[in-house]
Amino acid sequence: MTIFTKIINREIPANRVYEDDHTLAFHDVDPQAPIHILVIPKKEVKDFQSCDSETIGYLLSAAQAVAKKLKLDESGYRVVINNGKDAGQEVAHLHLHILGGAKLGHIRHQDRTRKD
């Protein structure tokens, strides 16, 4: 069981901003932007690559609802999913990052070619 399942089950606290039958959204504990929200499926799915399209649809709809609720829909925001170790996925429960609340920098490639 991951930390996110414990948040769903209210075994550990989170600053929740949105919830529906299929998804939960809460503030990231280590925000990388003035507003940094994680949106997760209630169903246990380890990553984006193994996720079915119905669940992805629920997550994307929830992200739109969160953006509207937090008034990011007009100012703009970024949606990010880290999939697997090269992307730095830390928690093995699919989660979508919503980043906003300021003008965000562009993500540029740095040469960190894998050595393995």
**Chain positions contacting ligand AMP, by CB under 6 A:** 3, 14, 28-30, 38, 82, 88-91
When the beta carbons of 28 and 73 are compared against ligand AMP, the nearer one is 28
When the beta carbons of 30 and 74 are compared against ligand AMP, the nearer one is 30
When the beta carbons of 8 and 67 are compared against ligand AMP, the nearer one is 8
Q: Which of 95, 97, 106, 109 is catalytic?
A: 95
- Closest separation in Å from C-beta 33 to ligand AMP: 11
Is 95 among the residues known to form the active site? yes
Dump the DSSP string for the chain: --HHHHHHTTSS---EEEE-SSEEEEE-SS-SSSEEEEEEESS----GGG--HHHHHHHHHHHHHHHHHTT-TTT-EEEE---SGGGT--SSS--EEEEESSPPPPP---------
Question: Which are the catalytic amino acids?
Answer: 95
